[in-house]
Amino acid sequence: MAMPRSKIAGIGKYVPQQVVTNQHLTQYMDTNDDWIQERTGIKERRYAHRTEETTTTMGVEAAKIAIERAGLTPADIDFIVFATLSPDYYFPGCGVLVQRALNMGEIGALDVRNQCSGFVYALSVADQFIKTGMYKNILVIGAEKHSFGLDFSTRGRNVSVIFGDGAAAVVLQPTHQANQGILSTHLHSDGHSAEILAMYNPGTHANHWVPQPVAHFDEAEIGQMFMSHAMIDDAQNFPYMDGPAVFKKAVVKFPEVIMEALAANGLQASNLNLLIPHQANLRIAQYVQQKLGLTDAQVYNNIQHYGNTTAASVPLALCEAWENGKVNPGDLVCLAAFGSGFTWASALLRW
Ligand code: UT7
């Protein structure tokens, strides 16, 4: 029998209850609703409960819905791929925490760290395992709890107003139907600009994270060790982003990777029923739409209500579009993302 394709057999999303409006953020930093809406399209975002919700707990809630909609139980899942940049722990990753939370068997669990394109990368990884026949029911999750670590002072406003919390998940299964499933995925990176959208610490680029009483350090070095107050004062415990530089690259790479997916399948932008771009900035999505000559009905955006949820953003938008009846059997759907790394990716699929 021919190699199967992977289809999305179930999809689910979870967003925390707490809605944080642009107005709300003005309490903490010098910003305003007009600036945020004009530059990003964002009206509000969700923040997870400070102590009771984590990236994993949100991912688990989304996963439960995706598994149920696939007509399965957690016991049927044979592999987990979890994409996030805001894991519960530095290590281990969130995949094993999902395995535990859902009482699953001793299945494989893999974490993907590709930031905004994390979900599309994770989907691509899962797709390969399905196509080779290694697994039959793969749970792919994208989730983020950004609110735990943003700089809510005016210094961090260019980053902190953009990001929001949330999660979404899909279950991938093999299909032999001709007009269904993932047609192709396309993955790219360019590490030359790794530092222009990054959270540097804790990381081995720097000095030791804890004082090391080892002979080859002198007293002065020991004084610089650990996350010092100077580093904290210098905002080195927060994500850094050169927004305009990211914007410039994004508006080139988004159309490129979407066209690459279409061309690989002998299709054109006009054939698309729906483009789900990573929800980085509504202005980027609008630029991409215009560049590809797509109508409003061919592009789904929900950044207005959730902000940029990084690894969760593509599946969150796909899930919402599906729940709103905008994704139907046979539809040609393109998922595309660009972000920190830089990494960028696309997936073209027939629903
Ligand atoms: O998903 C991950 C990938 N990330 C992205 O794709 C982000 C891409 N970049 C962007 O979306 C945009 O660059 C931003 C929305 C982050 C920023 O928009 P911008 O139009 O590029 O603004 P800017 O950074 O050039 O800043 C313009 C001005 C500055 O003031 P001055 O120097 O002109 O006086 C900023 O200090 O806007 C100021 N500013 C703000 N003002 C009010 C920056 N952030 C804010 C804010 N509220 N939150």
Distance CA 219, CA 306 (A): 48
pLDDT at site 230: 77
Asked if 46 and 139 sit in the same domain, the reply is: yes
Asked if 32 and 149 sit in the same domain, the reply is: yes
Q: Do the domain assignments include residue 232? A: no
User: Buried b / exposed e across 253-273, counting CB within 10 Å, b at 16+?
Assistant: bbbbbbbbbbeeeebebeebb
Distance CA 331, CA 227 (A): 50
Asked if 12 and 111 sit in the same domain, the reply is: yes
Q: Output the tens digit of pLDDT for each of the chain's 351 residues.
A: 789 999 999 999 999 999 999 999 999 999 999 999 999 999 999 999 999 999 999 999 999 999 999 999 999 999 999 999 999 999 999 999 999 999 999 999 999 999 999 999 999 999 999 999 999 999 999 999 999 999 999 999 999 999 999 999 999 999 999 889 999 999 999 999 999 999 998 888 876 666 666 555 565 555 555 567 777 888 888 999 999 999 999 999 999 999 999 999 999 999 999 999 999 999 999 999 999 999 999 999 999 999 999 999 999 999 999 999 999 999 999 999 999 999 999 999 999
**271 flagged as catalytic:** no
Residue 330, Cα to own-chain centre: how many angstroms? 25
Asked if 329 and 297 sit in the same domain, the reply is: yes
For residue 345, the CA-to-ligand 1 centroid distance in Å is 24
Which residue of the set 114, 278, 305, 334 is catalytic? 278
Q: Look at residues 300, 263, 42, 278 and name the one whose alpha carbon lies nearest to residue 164.
A: 42
Asked if 149 and 253 sit in the same domain, the reply is: no
Distance CA 135, CA 98 (A): 18
Asked if 92 and 185 sit in the same domain, the reply is: no
Distance CA 178, CA 211 (A): 60
Q: Do the domain assignments include residue 229? A: no
Q: Do the domain assignments include residue 325? A: yes
In this structure, which residue's CA is closest to atom 14 in ligand 1?
243
- Number of structural domains in the chain: 2
Q: Do the domain assignments include residue 220? A: no
Distance CA 38, CA 231 (A): 33
**94 flagged as catalytic:** no
Q: Do the domain assignments include residue 315? A: yes
Asked if 41 and 121 sit in the same domain, the reply is: yes
pLDDT at site 213: 60
Asked if 27 and 163 sit in the same domain, the reply is: yes
DSSP H helices in 8-117: 22-25, 33-40, 55-69, 94-101
* Test site for ligand 1: of 158, 248, 316, 338, most ligand atoms within 8 A of the Cβ: 158
Q: Do the domain assignments include residue 201? A: no
Asked if 186 and 108 sit in the same domain, the reply is: no
Asked if 22 and 87 sit in the same domain, the reply is: yes
pLDDT at site 84: 98
Listed residues 147, 175, 203: the one ending a domain: 175
In this structure, which residue's CA is closest to atom 5 in ligand 1?
280
Contact between 57 and 49 under an 8 Å Cβ cutoff? The reply is no
* Test site for ligand 1: of 21, 39, 199, most ligand atoms within 8 A of the Cβ: 39
Asked if 159 and 53 sit in the same domain, the reply is: yes
Looking at ligand 1, which atom is closest to the CA of residue 157?
A: 48
CATH number for the domain harbouring residue 274: 3.40.47.10
Asked if 143 and 186 sit in the same domain, the reply is: no
For residue 51, the CA-to-ligand 1 centroid distance in Å is 30
pLDDT at site 235: 84
Q: Do the domain assignments include residue 119? A: yes
Q: Do the domain assignments include residue 93? A: yes
Only one residue has tokens 């399965």, namely: 72
Tell me whether strands 166-175 and 138-144 are parallel, antiparallel or unpaired: antiparallel
pLDDT at site 156: 96
Parent domain of 282: 181-194+241-350
How many beta carbons lie within 10 A of that of residue 187, not counting itself? 16
The answer, yes or no, to whether any atom of ligand 1 lies below 6 A from the CB of 250, is: yes
pLDDT at site 223: 52
- The answer to whether the bond into 148 is cis (omega within 30° of 0) is no
pLDDT at site 263: 98
pLDDT at site 232: 80
